[in-house]
Structure 1
């Protein structure tokens, strides 16, 4: 499964009206959509050929042919009932809750792998590798992800800070430089304080990386490098747990990717911090 239909679902709310017509038809009649020409699909969606092409470009496909090929592959491999997220219902027994929460968290990681662009990941890791300072910005649940990132990167002696207070975010961003990197975390990509902080960071010429849901949003439209996550849209999400798990996974990928190319240099720091942390334990 290459995530074609997943991308349509994730980006749906951010699409333009003419593009939503296309998305609605494809999601309602995925098998019927396979093999249609641009003109045939436009006719069934009651829109234009140009709208179909824009729709494909919005979803980051090279064109309609690329989209059609990947959608056909999706249809042949996807089992909708098995691949759907499961909402948590009031009154569920504990065994059902354990199963559904665990499944949704696992699926958020699996789906995130389908919307992550490996070339963008390579760019992000290269930027982190060359940066003197790495800042992480987030509020609420995304702020916890920023703090997790800080402690990971501190372990390898990279100058990094996590900012979750909006006033401190603005102050820190104003003091970035062209040699620094700033990572902005927001599932919706529409958190006003995070967007405003990125605008401040952009003025310093720091490299900016966004981690948001797939699709067009205000935050990733301003970022130099765009990384995407996917998570369940269920009514009882337990504090945005799905998006949090997906964001943590992206941070782990960035950290591991950087660690891989810097391992000979950072091994001594990992050993040092491991020894220091061992002292804090009652037993080694």
Structure 2
């Protein structure tokens, strides 16, 4: 936060320069689109005053200052132990910075908890399974849809259902050839717990992705992966968990895709070819050039 610190510590300038400084600190989201002339007009000064102010801070001129100022706003994240919460006076700049920080911290904390040996074991089980079934409720269901879509591109058959009865029936039809992935923030969803019990009886291996390492679901699972959702994120709790789970799903999918890379690349090239010809349409006399 070098530039912000420089601005806050700038106290010995002229009255015009202090006005420019205060405007920048109070309206940071406006600076990106403002020229020196426009900033001068907004502060009842001039483009020349803006240029002198920037040079006093050690920059060649306003364009260099503006570029570095906006870069710092977008990519600087502050203290890692700082609470992140929404307030009534949010602007575009603070929202961008907070969301960037949320995803960065969530992924870093999730990454730190990952065991390479555990990932190797889990991805081997997924690769050996004929079908991967996802189980989740509410907003987490959209993560299962994402996971299914990714695995299709790695030639892996997947299932996910939003209705409780469909998830239960799918579990009853499962066996040791299936692999189940549960997504639950608390790991204590009663419906998921009952479905996990069914899968245990069906001898289906279970992976739980959760923010609660000591939950009922993790006790029932063969393995679990920790998805970070720090309480310091306040209102951003679910976005943090969502980012963490997506990060884990991307890792699992990436390993699966690489195991049979050439075959998967071939499938996706054929998919692109179909899309260019008649996406979602009736295909006639198209040489797909792909066999299983």
Question: What's the offset of the Cα at 1:278?
Answer: 4.2
Query: CA 1:118–1:257 in structure 2 vs 1: closer, same or farther (change >3 Å)?
Result: same
Gaps of 5+ in 2: 1-77, 281-292
Aligned length: 201
Whether the 8 Å CA contact 2:227–2:244 is kept in 1: the answer is: yes
1:136 equivalent among 134, 137, 142: 134
Q: Counterpart of 2:235? A: 236
Q: 1:117 aligns with which of 110, 115, 118?
A: 115
> Which residue is 1:70 aligned to?
none
Is the CA contact (8 Å cut-off) linking 2:102 and 2:236 kept in structure 1? no
Residue 92 of structure 1 and its aligned partner are, at CA, apart by 1.6
The answer (yes or no) to whether the contact 2:187–2:215 under 8 Å persists in 1 is yes
- Give distance in 1, aligned partners of 2:194 and 2:276: 41
How far is the alpha carbon of 1:187 from its aligned partner? 1.4
Q: Greater CA radius of gyration, 1 or 2?
A: 2
Contact 1:155 1:273 in 2 (8 A): no
Once the two structures are superposed, the pairs formed by residues 1-284 of structure 1 within 5 Å of their partners are: 81-233=79-231, 234-237=233-236, 240-279=238-277, 280=279
Question: What CA distance in whole angstroms lies between the structure 1 residues aligned with 2:274 and 2:191?
Answer: 36
1:47 paired residue number: none
Report the TM-score, using the length of structure 1 for normalisation.
0.66
Cα distance in structure 2, aligned partners of 1:112 and 1:278? 38
Instruction: Give, in whole Å, the separation in 2 of the partners of 1:90 and 1:194.
Output: 37
Query: Secondary structure of 1:98's partner?
Result: helix
1:214 CA drift (Å): 4.6
Once the two structures are TM-superposed, the CA of residue 81 in structure 1 deviates from its matched residue by 3.3
In the TM superposition, residue 182 of structure 1 has moved relative to its aligned partner by 0.7
TM-score (structure 2 length as normaliser): 0.65
Shift of 1:83: 4.3
Q: Deviations over 1:221-251 (max 9, x none)?
A: 110011111123233127x111011101101
> Post-superposition shift, 1:267?
2.2
Unaligned 5+ runs, structure 1 = 1-79
Where 1:82 maps in the other structure, the secondary structure is: coil
Tell me if the contact between 1:85 and 1:107 (Cα under 8 Å) persists in the aligned partners. Answer: no
